[in-house]
Amino acid sequence: MSDARPEPETPATGRRWGALEGILALVTAIGLTLFAGIPQVVIGDDTGTAEVTGNAISMVLQNVIFVAAPIALLAVMGHRIGRRDLGWRGPRRTWLAIGLLVGAAVAYLVLSSGLAHLLGVADEQDELPDKLGVNVSALAGIVIGLAVTVLAPIGEETLLRGVVYPGLRTTFGRIAPGWLAIALAAVIDGLLFGALHAAGTDVGFLPILALFGAVLCLLYQWTGSLYLPIVLHATNNTVAITQAADWSAGQGIALWVAAMAILALLGVGVRRGAGDAPFLPAR
């Protein structure tokens, strides 16, 4: 494993946050997401449309919190966080990054397949897409599909890989060699990623999600860009929702293309709108 780390290593404050700040950001974000479930309760599930509407609004709120809460908390703790500090930057070596993305995808596919057979869940499907109402109607499928392939990767990658993983790695790096700090941070971050999905995912899939989280950490580590984990996360979610909803390959490809287009536009927008300035001033 390489000791190369995502850039920049030193935020505007001159110091990188550690595990304590990262875990506090995670706990704060999870706590605030309790309020994200209010639309589901208020709108109710009397009809399929109401259920999907409530779920969609709650997913929007949840992932806004996943992005905004860590930035605000770190600012309060004295860190001037800009987009580059969170990994919202393109990789310097584009083709190498693409190769690493493909390699990470293949490695995860092979390892997850073996783990699924070992856990006895290889022939099972995750029921979460159906719980979200993806099959209620064509429009519901589009709305939930885009939420799962666009919003969830952005929110979860920013929180887990952009904030928690670097904090863990920095703290472990003070007491262990670089490669071991990276490995420990990736494993713990992966476990936290799996635990984050415990409420809505069958328990048999949680170890596979933990593996996926660790792979995403290493992809971020090797490329220095959060965009690559977001793309892999979105691709994985596209495959998962296509299989769970029993969609055709054409429908899955259409969803993936739409998700990639939206993510690309958002990436351009963040680069032009945020620049290199911190999102919030440190206090």
pLDDT at 94 over 50: yes
- DSSP states of the chain as a string? -----PSPSS-TTSS---HHHHHHHHHHHHHHTTGGGHHHHHH-SSSHHHHHHHHHHHHHHHHHHHHHHHHHHHHHTT---BTGGGT-S--SSHHHHHHHHHHHHHHHHHHHHHHHHHHT-TT----HHHHHTTTS-HHHHHHHHHIIIIIHHHHHIIIIIIIIHHHHHHHHHTTS-HHHHHHHHHHHHHHHHHHHTTTTS-GGGHHHHHHHHHHHHHHHHHHS-THHHHHHHHHHHHHHHHHHTT--HHHHHHHHHHHHHHHHHHHHHHHHHHTTSBSS---
**Using CA atoms, how far apart are residues 138 and 145, in angstroms rounded to an integer?**
10
What pLDDT shows up at residue 203?
A: 86
Residue 282 pLDDT class (50, 70, 90 cuts): low
What pLDDT shows up at residue 160?
A: 98
What pLDDT shows up at residue 11?
A: 43
Lowest mean pLDDT among 89-93, 173-177, 227-231: 89-93
What pLDDT shows up at residue 277?
A: 66
- DSSP states of 74-111 as a string? HHHTT---BTGGGT-S--SSHHHHHHHHHHHHHHHHHH
What pLDDT shows up at residue 274?
A: 64
Asked whether 101 and 235 are in contact (CB, 8 A), the reply is no
How many of the other CB atoms lie within 10 Å of CB of 10? 10
**Using CA atoms, how far apart are residues 271 and 275, in angstroms rounded to an integer?**
5
**Using CA atoms, how far apart are residues 36 and 200, in angstroms rounded to an integer?**
15
Residue 222 pLDDT class (50, 70, 90 cuts): very high
Query: Above pLDDT 70, what percent of the chain?
Result: 90
pLDDT at 169 over 70: yes
Longest dimension (CA), the chain: 56
What pLDDT shows up at residue 184?
A: 98
What pLDDT shows up at residue 44?
A: 67
**Position with higher pLDDT, 86 vs 135:** 86
Q: What is the mean pLDDT of residues 64-83?
A: 92
Q: For the chain, what are the domain ranges?
A: 89-274
What pLDDT shows up at residue 9?
A: 43
In sequence order, the 6+-apart residues with CB closer than 8 A to the CB of 160 are 26, 189, 192, 193, 196, 213, 216
What pLDDT shows up at residue 232?
A: 98
What pLDDT shows up at residue 10?
A: 42
Q: Mind listing the pLDDT tens digit for each residue in 2-49? A: 444 444 344 444 468 999 999 999 999 999 998 887 877 777 666 677
